[in-house]
Structures are given as structure tokens and as C-alpha cells.
Structure 1
Amino acid sequence: MTQGDQPVRLTAWVEGRVQGVGFRWWTRARALELGLVGSARNLPDGRVVVVAEGEHHPCELLLTALRSGSTPGRVDHVVEQWSEARGGLQGFEER
């Protein structure tokens, strides 16, 4: 089994002008296209936290999309954290 076969969890904290601009909806659409489950949630400090679980490669593609410059609003910085998938998630929610 390769690393790409193992489910992973990507947590990404996205800074910039990412609230009130359709960023969570856009992130949800990209995640669903990639077959990922999780959520995108506004934080009180203006960031959005994205939690996505699935195979490693689709999670990498989502991270690349978050950093692509083609998101709604403006992304200034993305901090990522990788961990083992916890499971139990269904669909992709905007919170």
C-alpha cells in the first residue's frame, strides 16, 4: 500500500479576505469534486479553517487550490497540518 492509499486529514487555516465572499462555498465545491469529506468554517479572527479527509493526493490538490489565487476574496497565507484521518465525517459542510 502506498501513502496515497491511506486516508489522511488536512487541516488548513486560511488567512486573508476570506469571509463574506463565497470562499467556504467555493472550497466545498472543490472538495466535493475531489471526493473529500469535511468542513469549512469561519473563525472569529477572520480566518477560515478547512478540514478535509480522504486520500492524500486529492487533499494535496485541495491545498493547491486554496493557494492558487483563483479563490473568491483574497488568500494571503495558508497554514497546513497533516494527520491521520479520524473518520466519521460525511459530505462537506459550510459552517
Structure 2
Amino acid sequence: MNEDVRLTAWVRGRVQGVGFRWFTRANALEIGGVVGFALNLDDGRVQVVAEGQRENCHRLLDWLRSADTPGRVDGVTEIWGTPRGGYEGFAIR
């Protein structure tokens, strides 16, 4: 069953100032059916919130953990939950 989910991921490493949020948005749009945002945090991490079908959110998470991201990802922590809605598309914040 491919139900709708909410993925919240915190990406650690050299992920600010390297186009990470832009590429995250581009990948979410390429996957399709994923809404949410990517946000730079004050501690140097990027927070990614994505809502959509579980398979699509897993595809985005796999990309976040891959070697294809800009910068350098040292680790990704994620939690899964129920979608809250309210997103028009995938935004860079």
C-alpha cells in the first residue's frame, strides 16, 4: 500500500551555500507528487519536509543520502509521520 506520508529529514555536512536546497527542490519536482520545503537551519544543517506517496518520499530520501547531492552529506536523520497538508508545491525557504 502506497499511502501518503510526511518525511522530515535533517541533513548534516557541508550542505549550505552549495545549492543543496535548489537541487533538493529540483529532485522533488522530478520525482513528482512531492510537496514541502527545504530550509537552512542556523546550525548548518538543512531540514527537508516532504509529503506525498511513501515510495516518492523514499526516493527523495535515497537521493539525500546519495553521492549525487551538492556539497558533502555526512548523515541524514529522518522521522516519518502523517501528512499535515497546506503545501502548494516544493519550496526553498
Secondary structure of the structure 1 residue equivalent to 2:75? strand
Measured against aligned partners, the alpha-carbon deviations of 1:27-56 in whole angstroms (never above 9, x if no partner) come to 000011112100000000000000000000
The equivalent of 1:31 in structure 2 is 28
SS at match of 1:75: strand
* Structure 1: distance between partners of 2:58 and 2:51: 11
Structure 1 residue 11: deviation in Å?
0.3
Give 5+ residue unaligned stretches, structure 1.
Answer: none
Give me the identity figure in percent: 64
Instruction: Give the CA RMSD over aligned residues.
Output: 0.6
| Alpha-carbon shift at residue 90 of structure 1 (Å) | 1.0
What amino acid sits opposite 1:12 in the alignment? A
TM score, norm. by length of structure 2: 0.97
Structure 1 length-normalised TM: 0.95
Distance 2:20 2:4 in 1: 25
